[in-house]
Amino acid sequence: MFKTIKNDLPSSIVVFFVALPLCLGIALASGAPLFSGLIAGIVGGIVVGSLSGSKIGVSGPAAGLAAIVLSAIVTLGSYENFLVAVVLGGIIQLLFGVLKAGIIGYYFPSSVIKGMLTGIGIIIILKQIPHFFGYDPDPEGDFAFFQVDGENTFSSIIKTFNYIKPGSALVGIIGLSILILWEKVLSKKGKFFQLVQGPLVAVVVSIIFYHFTKSHETFAITASHLVSVPVPEDATSFLAQFSFPNFSAIANVDIWIVAFTIALVASLETLLCVEATDKLDPYKNVTPTNRELLAQGTGNIISGMIGGLPITQVIVRSSANIQSGGRSKMSAIIHGFFLLISVILIPRLLNMIPLSVLAAILLVVGYKLAKPSLFKKLYDLGLKQFIPFTVTVLGIVFIDLLWGIGLGLANGLMVILYKSYQNSHFLHKEGEDVDDGRVKMTLAEEVTFFNKGAILKELERIPENSYLELDVRKTRYLDNDIIEILEDFAFKAKERNIDIKLVSERGIVENPPSYIEFFKLRPKSA
């Protein structure tokens, strides 16, 4: 794990600055104590990061659970009763992992996953515009279209221009300029600029700005526009911030209903995030989904026991980790320790960070997730990819994350079922019993994202130094998801010294340089 520390340490700093306001904002949006969000972030980083099989995923409190938490606290009567549901939800997640429910993650089509990433990117941009200009009534972490402050995403942006704070706006502009300059120019000038990340510089500059302008009539930034970490006076007051579950209420049926809800929603969000982060990962690592459920379940048990919010793997933190060059799970773990150390030793310093500079960091993260070129790429793949993608994006932007995913999945299923309802989906594999290093795989007549898990599993089982013959002569329809799996496997095959012979109606190709380009030549069949 320490082999990539030079990449993971700078990345962990960026993730820390992204995670800090989100932990606090999600706690505020959930109607929970602010410190509960920080507990969840710390446990998500240190505990889940250590147990997870993901190299680049980062866990913490999730915006998708905020509404559930808010209503559950009211229904159950106290936050201590709610913590019992969090612990039980973690235990249920452990059972999901033992029962190998993680395979569900493989049944979400690529178009929906890409739509989720793009939709989240757009939401991040839209939600951070008010914070960028110093208009902060809606807490960080509220990603729903209809906000907790009574506004919606677009009305809040329109209102922003009546409440621009010069100091916050100037810090936001300076911070964004530093980030762009650092990435586009300075990072290419030497190792120092690669080691010291632009977000860290932007945050330091913003603190200096706050310090020297706090008495200025125009550019002073008030406390309501700064990070707000609870500041304990001593060890006793620090420990007093922890809450503990009221297990005497465990017989309450409502607690069990909330526990199952948390387990289901948290597991689904985690599996979706795992699928998405694996797609973003430039090194094409495959996360073991069942192990991830076990890690998340353990994290939720611990978080609930000491007063924290429910935990999931979170795409905003994970994508920030990937974009900053994170290579191993050490990045997630270190960010958890940064959260822990900072809330103990330097809470007053953290409370000097303007929300606008953190908004600038998130704007860059959002743009990288929702680049305009992605829309064209999905459109070029055909309506079977573009329509579910678009529906997912619109659902996330105008409703919320889970609704967007659900609508996109429903649309994708309808498209696939209409296209292939009469065809069986299976994978032929030959040569298992012959110890000559040669493996033959014959793809079925119709291969869709339903087959993704099975094909991925079989490809991962192929031993090193093998010779794979991939026969697609019978295949009339090959889903884009499967083509992407083959493209990713070709990258792994080189590392494992596996030669590939692709047999198609157009002839035989040895170790094709690009499966995407190969199959693009015949979009209607393999």
pLDDT per position as a tens digit, 461-502: 888 888 888 888 888 888 888 888 898 898 888 888 999 999
Instruction: Indicate the residue among 362, 384, 410 that finishes a domain.
Output: 362
Confidence of residue 521 (pLDDT cuts 50, 70, 90): low
Domain co-membership, 334 together with 444: no
pLDDT per position as a tens digit, 124-140: 899 999 999 999 888 87
State the DSSP string of 426-483.
Answer: -EEEE-TT--SSEEEEEE-SEE-GGGHHHHHHHHHHSPTT-EEEEE-TT-SEE-HHHH
Does any domain span residue 395?
no
Q: What was the pLDDT predicted at 524? A: 46
Q: What was the pLDDT predicted at 365? A: 87
Does any domain span residue 412?
no
Confidence of residue 434 (pLDDT cuts 50, 70, 90): low
Domain co-membership, 135 together with 48: yes
Check which CATH number belongs to the domain holding 449 and give it. 3.30.750.24
- Share the mean pLDDT of the chain: 88
SS (H, E, C) 476-520: CEECHHHHHHHHHHHHHHHHCCCEEEEEECCEEEECCCCHHHHHH
Q: Per-residue pLDDT averaged across 33-50, rounded? A: 96
Query: Collapsing DSSP states into helix, strand and coil, what is residue 78?
Result: coil
Domain co-membership, 331 together with 453: no
Instruction: Indicate the residue among 362, 379, 414 that finishes a domain.
Output: 362
Does any domain span residue 405?
no
Are the C-beta atoms of residues 316 and 14 closer than 8 Å to each other? Answer: no
pLDDT per position as a tens digit, 237-253: 888 899 999 999 999 99
Tokens 């797609």: give the residue.
279
CA triplet 494, 448, 525: central angle to 5 degrees? 80
Does any domain span residue 409?
no
pLDDT per position as a tens digit, 345-375: 899 999 999 999 999 999 998 898 898 888 9
Looking at the structure of the chain, the number of domains it has is 2
424 has a pLDDT exceeding 70: no
Domain co-membership, 357 together with 435: no
Does any domain span residue 379?
no
Instruction: Indicate the residue among 362, 385, 408 that finishes a domain.
Output: 362
Q: What was the pLDDT predicted at 433? A: 54
Does any domain span residue 407?
no
CA distances from 49 to 57, 208, 290, 296, 342 (A): 8, 33, 15, 9, 18
423 has a pLDDT exceeding 50: no
Domain co-membership, 438 together with 320: no
Domain that holds residue 220: 2-362
Dist CA 222 CA 225 (whole Å): 6
Does any domain span residue 381?
no
Q: Amino acid identity, residue 65?
A: L
